[in-house]
C-alpha cells in the first residue's frame, strides 16, 4: 500500500467506545448504529427474554439472561465512506478494569446519559478517565421519550459535575408522552418524533427559516413545547458556549445530542455529525521511542483484551489488538515485544460482536482479533521493523475481595483447571495459589465478577465450582529475597500470583501495620 493510500485508509477510520452508567441505554444505541451500518436488519433490545431478540453486542449467554453487558464487545461497519469501529463497554462498576483498558484503544468516546437520572457515579468515573487521556467526548442524552429532567438542568449538571463545556447540537421539543420532536440548530431543521417501534428510522424534517423559526406547520409553531425549545435555543445562542472544533478534539468541549435510542430517534443525526467531527486515529506514545504515527510504514499494535470461548464449540481464545500504525496483511510476521519472538499472523479476524470474519488487511485505527493458543497477554506490543516498540502500560487494578475456589466434582479436575487458566487470562479476575496448600484463590474488584466466573465455568467448561468467601483483603507484594514462609498467618495469608511472585493478603489495615512493625526492614508494595 502506497503512503498516500495508507493515509487515506487511516483517515477514514473512526474508533470509539460507548460509556455510561448501567441501564442508561449504551447497548441499545450501539444496536441502532449497527442498524444504520447495515450489519443488522433489526435492533435487538437488551432485555428481550420473551422475544429472544437479544442485543447483538451482548453475545455472552449470561449477558442475554441478565440483560447487562459484562464484557467489551467490538463491532465494525462502514457508513458514508467511513470505517467505524465501535467498542461497547460494560457499564457495571465491577468491570471497570475492562472498560479502562478499552479506553486505551479508542480515539474518542460517546457518553450516554439517562435524561431522567443525569450524571451517575459510573458515568463520572469513566468520564474522568477520558478526561485524563484527553479523549474527545460526544454526549447523547437518552430516553427523552420518557419523563425526564429539564434539558437546561442536564446541560448545567454536565458542565458543573464533569467540568466540561457543553454545546447542544439540538434541543428536545417536549418530553415523555409530550415529545414532539427535536429543534436541530446544526442542521437548521425540526425533526418530528413518531411513536411506534421503528417509526423514526427516517423521521420527517421541517425546515427552519433564516430567523430560526418554522416556515410551515402553524400548529406546531404555536405549540408551547416548541416555543419553549425555541426560546431555550435562543438563550443558548446568546449566552452559551461557542462551537469550537479544537476544544472538541482536545476533550474540553462536548457536543450534546438529545434523543431516544430505543425509539431510534435522534440517533442518525448523532451518527452523521459524530463522523464529521470525531478524530481520525492519532499517534500513540511508547515507553522506548516517543510517539508512533498511524501512517508509519511499519505495523504496530497492542493487545488490550483477551476473550476465551467467543465460540464455545471450538474453545477458542482471541487476543484483541488495536492497530496503532501501518497496515496488517495476512500471513505477515511480527515481533512480540515481551518475548522477542517472531509470530506469524495467519488466522486474524474482525468482529461483529460474536460473529467473526477472516480478514486479509487492516490499518491503523482498526481492531483485529488474533487466534491465540496462549502466546499473548494483555498489554503485549507487536510490531514489524528493526526498532523495538513497547506501548504504554495498560491499567490494572489490585483486587479487593477474594474467594477460595475448588471443583465440586473431583472427577472433573481437568476441565476445572483448564477453565480456571483460560478465564483468568482475560484479566477480570486474578488467580493466586496458597503457599501452604496449593489451593486456588481468586481476587476481583467486584462481586459480580465472581458470579460471571462461576456461570461461565459451568456453562463453558461443564465445571461446577464451589466458592468460599474470604471477604476483603489488602494485597501486598514482597521481595522474594526478604520472604520467610513463617511470616504468613491467618491474618496475612501468604500466596503466589500467576507469575510465581509472593504476596500477602492482609485481613485489614491493622494487620498490615502490625506486620510492618514486626518486620520493619521488609518492603511491601501494591504493584501487580
| 520 in a labelled binding site | no
CA distance 362 to 116: 41
Contact 99, 126 (CB under 8 A): yes
| 233 in a labelled binding site | no
| 136 in a labelled binding site | no
| 384 in a labelled binding site | no
| 168 in a labelled binding site | no
| 22 in a labelled binding site | yes
Look up residue 405 and give its three cell numbers: 475456589
The torsion angle over the Cα atoms of residues 221, 226, 230 and 233, rounded to 10 degrees, is -150
Query: End-to-end distance of the chain based on CA atoms, in angstroms?
Result: 41
CA distance 87 to 106: 8
Residue 317, H or E segment: strand 317-325
Look up residue 167 and give its three cell numbers: 454545546
Closest CA to 394 of 379, 383, 380, 381: 379
Closest CA to 401 of 448, 436, 433: 448
Q: How far is CA 198 from CA 111, 195, 201, 261, 263, in A?
A: 23, 9, 6, 11, 7
Q: Is 69 helix (H, G, I), strand (E, B) or coil?
A: coil
| 23 in a labelled binding site | yes
Contact 123, 111 (CB under 8 A): yes
Look up residue 168 and give its three cell numbers: 447542544
| 260 in a labelled binding site | no
Look up residue 383 and give its three cell numbers: 510490531
Contact 399, 450 (CB under 8 A): no
Dihedral sign computed on CA atoms, order 112, 18, 43, 274: positive
Residue with cell 510504514: 297
Largest CA distance in the chain: 85
| 301 in a labelled binding site | no
Helices (H), 323-446: 413-424
| 88 in a labelled binding site | yes
CA distance 194 to 323: 41
CA distance 406 to 467: 7
What is the Cα Rg of the chain in Å?
Answer: 25
| 285 in a labelled binding site | no
| 335 in a labelled binding site | no
| 26 in a labelled binding site | yes
Contact 20, 122 (CB under 8 A): yes
Dihedral sign computed on CA atoms, order 211, 213, 218, 224: negative
| 305 in a labelled binding site | no
* Burial of 498 from C-beta contacts in 10 A (0-12 / 13-18 / 19+): middle
Residue with cell 487515506: 8
| 379 in a labelled binding site | no
Closest CA to 17 of 97, 78, 100: 100
Helices (H), 95-178: 96-103, 121-133, 151-162
Task: Extract the annotated binding site.
Answer: 20-27, 88-92, 142-145
Task: Extract the annotated binding site for GTP.
Answer: 20-27, 88-92, 142-145
Amino acid at each position: 500500500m502506497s503512503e498516500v493510500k495508507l493515509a487515506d485508509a487511516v483517515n477514514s477510520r473512526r474508533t470509539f467506545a460507548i460509556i455510561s452508567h448501567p441501564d442508561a441505554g449504551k447497548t441499545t444505541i450501539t444496536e441502532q448504529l449497527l442498524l444504520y451500518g447495515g450489519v443488522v436488519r433489526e435492533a435487538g433490545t437488551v432485555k428481550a427474554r420473551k422475544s429472544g431478540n437479544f442485543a447483538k453486542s451482548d453475545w455472552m449467554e449470561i449477558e442475554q439472561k441478565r440483560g447487562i453487558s459484562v464484557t467489551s464487545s467490538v463491532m465494525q461497519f462502514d457508513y458514508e465512506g467511513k470505517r467505524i469501529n465501535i467498542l461497547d463497554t460494560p457499564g457495571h462498576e465491577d468491570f471497570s478494569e475492562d472498560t479502562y483498558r478499552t479506553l486505551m484503544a479508542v480515539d474518542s468516546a460517546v457518553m450516554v446519559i439517562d435524561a431522567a437520572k443525569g450524571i451517575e457515579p459510573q458515568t463520572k468515573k469513566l468520564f474522568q478517565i477520558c478526561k485524563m487521556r484527553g479523549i474527545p467526548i460526544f454526549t447523547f442524552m437518552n430516553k427523552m421519550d420518557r419523563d425526564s429532567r429539564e434539558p437546561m438542568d442536564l446541560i448545567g449538571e454536565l458542565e458543573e459535575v464533569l467540568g466540561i463545556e457543553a454545546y447542544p447540537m439540538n434541543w428536545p421539543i417536549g418530553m415523555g408522552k409530550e415529545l414532539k420532536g427535536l429543534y436541530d440548530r446544526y442542521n437548521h431543521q425540526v425533526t418530528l418524533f413518531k411513536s411506534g417501534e421503528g417509526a423514526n428510522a427516517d423521521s420527517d424534517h421541517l425546515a427552519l427559516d433564516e430567523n430560526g423559526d418554522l416556515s410551515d406547520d402553524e400548529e406546531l409553531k404555536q405549540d408551547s413545547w416548541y416555543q419553549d425549545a425555541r426560546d431555550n435555543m435562543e438563550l443558548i445562542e446568546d449566552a452559551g458556549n461557542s462551537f469550537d472544533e479544537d476544544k472538541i478534539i482536545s476533550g474540553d468541549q462536548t457536543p450534546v445530542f438529545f434523543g431516544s435510542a430505543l425509539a431510534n430517534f435522534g440517533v442518525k443525526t448523532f451518527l452523521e455529525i459524530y463522523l464529521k467531527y470525531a478524530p481520525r486515529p492519532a499517534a500513540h506514545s511508547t515507553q522506548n521511542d516517543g510517539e508512533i504515527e498511524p501512517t508509519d510504514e511499519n505495523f504496530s499494535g497492542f493487545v488490550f483484551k483477551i476473550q476465551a470461548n467467543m465460540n464455545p464449540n471450538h474453545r477458542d481464545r482471541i487476543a484483541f489488538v488495536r492497530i496503532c500504525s501501518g497496515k496488517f496483511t495476512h500471513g505477515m510476521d511480527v515481533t512480540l515485544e515481551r518475548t522477542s519472538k517472531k509470530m506469524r499472523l495467519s488466522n486474524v479476524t474482525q468482529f461483529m460482536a460474536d460473529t467473526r470474519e477472516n480478514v486479509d488487511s487492516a490499518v491503523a485505527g482498526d481492531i483485529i482479533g488474533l487466534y491465540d493458543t496462549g502466546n499473548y497477554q494483555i498489554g503485549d506490543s507487536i510490531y514489524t521493523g528493526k526498532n523495538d516498540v513497547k506501548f504504554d502500560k495498560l491499567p490494572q487494578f489490585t483486587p479487593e475481595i477474594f474467594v477460595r475456589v475448588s471443583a465440586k466434582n473431583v472427577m472433573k479436575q481437568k476441565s476445572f483447571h483448564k477453565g480456571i487458566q483460560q478465564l483468568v487470562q482475560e484479566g477480570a479476575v486474578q488467580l493466586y495459589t496458597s503457599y501452604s496448600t496449593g489451593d486456588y484463590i481468586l481476587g476481583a474488584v467486584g462481586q459480580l465478577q465472581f458470579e460471571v466466573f462461576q456461570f461461565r465455568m459451568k456453562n463453558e467448561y461443564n465445571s461446577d465450582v464451589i466458592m468460599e468467601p474470604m471477604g476483603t483483603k489488602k494485597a501486598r507484594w514482597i521481595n522474594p529475597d526478604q520472604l520467610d514462609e513463617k511470616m504468613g498467618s491467618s491474618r496475612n495469608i501468604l500466596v503466589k500470583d500467576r507469575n510465581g511472585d509472593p504476596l500477602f493478603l492482609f485481613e485489614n489495615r491493622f494487620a498490615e501495620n502490625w506486620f510492618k512493625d514486626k518486620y520493619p526492614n521488609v518492603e511491601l508494595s501494591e504493584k501487580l
